[in-house]
Chain A
Amino acid sequence: METYDITVNGVPKQVTVDPGTPLLWVLREDLKMTGTKYGCGIAACGACTVHLGGVATRSCVVPISLVGSRSVVTIEAMADDPIGHAVQDEWVSLDVVQCGYCQSGQIMSAVALLKSIPKPTDKEIEESMGGNLCRCATYVRIREAIKSASQQLKT
């Protein structure tokens, strides 16, 4: 067991856990933040996506020991982020979700995309969202919602 200081959504936290514990489980069980989801544990589905040091990161495979001083931002912070909020609004407006389990990860990935490429092409959307799995196959509306959010964020 080791003690780690991390910053999550701007708030400093301290946890004492086994060094190999993935950031995902630290968030979900030690910090009781369940918005970030467990879908596969091998980074194949993207449900666990957070922003680590500003980079979209699959938290199920990053042990807490490798987080370091990088900031951790989760889905819970997206409502207060201008791009995050716009994405959520379009997700709601276009009725994207079905079961919803993958959508935290989808939104975190979509936000990372739009932060990097404000006006992505269809190809760029497909490539950047290419590793996020949705078993309900809400992909058609995910594409539409990202384009729509991109238009909303004109400035």
Chain B
Amino acid sequence: MYSGKIVLLFAPLVALAAWTSNPWRESQSSVSPKEATTRTNGLAAWQQVYSVLTHPRCINCHTATNHPQQGDDRHRHFANVVRGPQGKGVPALQCVTCHQDANADSTGVPGGHDWHLAPLSMKWQDLNDNILSSAEVCRAITDRSKNNNRDGAALLKHHTEEPLVLWAFQPGRRIDGSLRTLPPLTHEQFVAATRKWVEAGTPCPQTP
């Protein structure tokens, strides 16, 4: 596969190209055909990543509000649970008050290590629960002032190893015994798409 060094070498160029060019225009004087293909592939990979990020299993905790969502219909989480100062709830009503380190299939409560909300900087919906566009989400997660200073490699690592990300792909059973709906990709596919996107320089779509 591509070595990390080559990616790092080309990444700024591709990123620059992404910021300055219209991805839907066929030829760019400043972008080589190879880079354009890479960018196109990267954007396609990003769309796959986006499809996972905006699936309920992920986006339910990437809210803009003071509370998480739950369910495939992304309704407001019951029992008035709130974000709290660190996204972990408040005393007596923390996320871990109910959510343990692993799924509790016998009681229908999902679980993963250190269950908590993504920070507001990682909100992928607006205050009216409308999912942000592909461009907006891409901008948010590549913004190092907002994403905990993660570069492409760190983003890839996050998608590969973070327990709550892993949870989304083994989300456990509901109280009625049915399996929770899975994201559109498997974890392996999600990691592969992320890698492709990162190696293409984490391009973002231009449309707002």
Direct contact of A and B (CB under 8 A): yes
Residues of A within 8 A of B (CB): 19-22, 41-46, 49, 55-58, 60-63, 66, 108-110, 112-113, 115-117, 124, 127-132
Separation of A56 and B93 alpha carbons in the complex (Å) = 7
- B92 touches A (CB below 8 Å): yes
Separation of A49 and B175 alpha carbons in the complex (Å) = 19
- Shortest A55–chain B CB gap in Å is 6
- B97 touches A (CB below 8 Å): yes
Question: A128: which of B91, B98, B104, B106 is its contact (CB, 8 Å)?
Answer: B91
**Total inter-chain residue pairs, C-beta < 8 Å:** 93
Separation of A131 and B90 alpha carbons in the complex (Å) = 11
Separation of A21 and B107 alpha carbons in the complex (Å) = 9
Separation of A129 and B104 alpha carbons in the complex (Å) = 24
- B108 touches A (CB below 8 Å): yes
Separation of A45 and B101 alpha carbons in the complex (Å) = 22
Beta-carbon nearest neighbor of A131 in chain B: B79
Separation of A58 and B101 alpha carbons in the complex (Å) = 14
- B166 touches A (CB below 8 Å): no
Beta-carbon nearest neighbor of A60 in chain B: B107
Q: Please list 6 pairs of residues, one from A and one from B, whose beta carbons are closer than 8 Å in the complex, sorted by A's number.
A: A20-B105, A49-B97, A58-B97, A61-B109, A110-B92, A131-B93
Q: Which 9 A-B pairs have the closest CB atoms?
A: A20-B106, A116-B91, A130-B80, A131-B79, A109-B92, A61-B107, A112-B92, A128-B92, A61-B109
Question: B82: which of A20, A62, A127, A132 is its contact (CB, 8 Å)?
Answer: A127
Is A130 in contact with B93, judged by CB distance below 8 angstroms? yes
* Inter-chain contacts of A44 with B (CB < 8 A): 78-79
> C-beta contact mask, B93-119 vs A, less than 8 Å → 1, else 0?
110111011101111110100000000
Is B108 in contact with A56, judged by CB distance below 8 angstroms? no
- Total interface residues in chain B, CB < 8 Å: 25
Question: A57: which of B90, B97, B101 is its contact (CB, 8 Å)?
Answer: B97
Question: B80: which of A20, A21, A49, A131 is its contact (CB, 8 Å)?
Answer: A131
The dominant DSSP class at the B interface is loop
- B81 touches A (CB below 8 Å): yes
Beta-carbon nearest neighbor of A18 in chain B: B106
Is B94 in contact with A127, judged by CB distance below 8 angstroms? no
Is A43 in contact with B98, judged by CB distance below 8 angstroms? yes
Is A127 in contact with B79, judged by CB distance below 8 angstroms? no
> C-beta contact mask, B116-128 vs A, less than 8 Å → 1, else 0?
0000000000000
Looking at B80, B92, B100, B175, the one whose CB has the most chain A CB atoms below 10 A away is: B92
Beta-carbon nearest neighbor of B93 in chain A: A131
Is A56 in contact with B97, judged by CB distance below 8 angstroms? yes
Is B91 in contact with A113, judged by CB distance below 8 angstroms? yes
The answer to whether residues A131 and B81 also contact, given A112-B91, A124-B90 and a CB cut-off of 8 A, is yes
B window 40-80: CB within 8 A of A: 78-80
- Shortest B171–chain A CB gap in Å is 15
- Shortest B202–chain A CB gap in Å is 37
Separation of A145 and B13 alpha carbons in the complex (Å) = 63
* Inter-chain contacts of A124 with B (CB < 8 A): 90-91
Separation of A116 and B105 alpha carbons in the complex (Å) = 30
- Shortest B146–chain A CB gap in Å is 26
Question: A43: which of B79, B91, B92, B101 is its contact (CB, 8 Å)?
Answer: B79
